[in-house]
């Protein structure tokens, strides 16, 4: 029997790096090539929706060329293993890719939205698509043109499912952060919430993050290897 049964895992771009998806703030990261205020803010979208659609069309196209890596698969294994032992796992991801789903995880919260989701701001319909969009795209539900935006949480907007996330952190025994720089709130603050509630905390990241000092334990290295090792420890512990 595993000793720890209820775990919250928060992931960031670093977990998908070994699959070939660019992170944001590392050298050569996405925010070096694309000014964040142009492609990841409501103001940037209002100023140049064509540029913003092209940016997310390209990210969505990239999804077709990548696949989950051992870290995504290990987290899916952990979820199943905990359930078999009467436990529970909540996977909170800041990532907008679909590699956790394709890696086999089921209970996933995409707090920053999803590349494969589109949002019609005329009728509020959200729909799945792997295709391309332009400022003239038509909503499949209300037929209005020009109101479809990427279902991505931009800077200045409220992340999704905050209540569910906070409840999960409150109820967990262990909070684990994987592959995130800890630069963006509220995600970066969940470790402090967990600590203040007396939870155990662990960070797995290539390098020390901005919030490393908040964690009980930090492990440095590539997620593809370290996450599998940690999952084995939990499931065999
Ligand atoms: P960042 O690019 O800020 O940080 C990625 C982290 O992953 C860095 O600390 C790297 O050291 C680490 N890393 C890189 N390769 C790794 C590997 N193979 N194994 C483990 N760690 C690795 O990405 P996030 O923290 O996810 O938001 O960024 C948070 C948010 O900022 C994103 O969701 C996005 C961005 O702006 C929005 O777009 C709303």
Both 219 and 107 in a single domain? Answer: yes
- Same domain for 120 and 210, yes or no, is no
Looking at the structure, do residues 36 and 84 belong to the same domain, yes or no?
A: no
Instruction: List the CATH number of the domain containing 131.
Output: 3.30.1600.10
pLDDT of residue 45: 97
Same domain, residue pair 168 and 229: yes
According to the model, what pLDDT value does residue 200 have? 98
Whole-number pLDDT of residue 1? 39
Contacts 24+ apart (CB under 8 A), 160-168: 160/109, 160/110, 160/111, 160/112, 160/113, 161/109, 161/111, 162/111, 162/186, 164/109, 165/90, 165/92, 165/109, 165/111, 165/190, 166/193, 168/8, 168/90, 168/92, 168/109
Among protein residues, the one whose CA lies closest to atom 2 of ligand 1: 24
Total domains in the chain come to 2
- Structural domain containing residue 164: 6-21+68-112+159-236
Does 213 reside within a domain? Answer: yes
| Residue 175: half-sphere exposure toward Cβ, Cα within 13 Å | 28
What pLDDT, on a 0 to 100 scale, did the predictor assign at position 237?
Answer: 82
70-84 and 223-236 are packed helices; what angle lies between their axes, rounded to 10 degrees? 10
**Claim: this prediction has a pTM higher than 0.85:** yes
Residue 33 has a pLDDT of 85
Residues 222 and 124 in one domain: no
Across the chain, which has 237 residues, the per-10-residue mean pLDDT values are: 85 98 90 91 97 96 97 98 96 98 98 98 98 98 98 98 98 98 96 98 96 97 98 94
The reply to whether ligand 1 has any atom less than 6 angstroms from the CB of 159 is no
Residue 1 domain-assigned? no
Task: Report, in angstroms and rounded to the nearest whole number, the Rg of the chain calculated over CA atoms.
Answer: 18
- Which residue, by CA, sits nearest to atom 8 of ligand 1? 181
What is the C-alpha separation between 197 and 174, in angstroms, rounded?
11
Same domain, 183 and 198: yes
List the 88-93 sheet strands across, edge first: 108-110, 88-93, 6-11, 174-178, 200-205, 217-220
Q: How many residues does the chain have?
A: 237
From the CA of 71, give the closest atom in ligand 1: 19
């Amino acid at each position: 029997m595993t000793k720890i049964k209820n775990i919250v895992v928060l992931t960031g771009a670093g977990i998908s790096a070994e699959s070939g998806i660019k992170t944001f703030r590392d050298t050569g990261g996405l925010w070096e090539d694309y000014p964040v205020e142009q492609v990841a803010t409501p103001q940037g979208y209002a100023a140049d929706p064509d540029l913003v659609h092209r940016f997310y069309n390209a990210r969505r196209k990239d999804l077709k060329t990548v696949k989950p890596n051992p870290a995504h698969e290990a987290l899916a294994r952990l979820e199943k293993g905990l359930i078999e032992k009467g436990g529970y796992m909540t996977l909170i991801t800041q990532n907008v890719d679909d590699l956790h789903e394709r890696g086999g995880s089921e209970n996933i919260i995409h707090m920053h939205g999803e590349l494969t989701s589109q949002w019609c701001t005329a009728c509020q319909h959200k729909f799945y698509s792997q295709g391309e969009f332009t400022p003239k795209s038509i909503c499949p539900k209300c037929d209005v043109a020009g109101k479809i935006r990427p279902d991505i949480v931009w800077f200045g907007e409220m992340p999704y499912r905050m209540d569910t996330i906070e409840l999960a952190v409150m109820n967990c025994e262990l909070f684990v952060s994987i592959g995130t720089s800890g630069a963006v709130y509220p995600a970066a603050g969940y470790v402090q919430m967990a600590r203040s509630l007396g939870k155990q905390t662990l960070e797995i990241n290539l390098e020390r993050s901005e919030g490393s000092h908040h964690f009980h334990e930090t492990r440095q290295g590539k997620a593809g290897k370290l996450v599998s090792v940690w999952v084995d420890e939990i499931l065999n512990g």
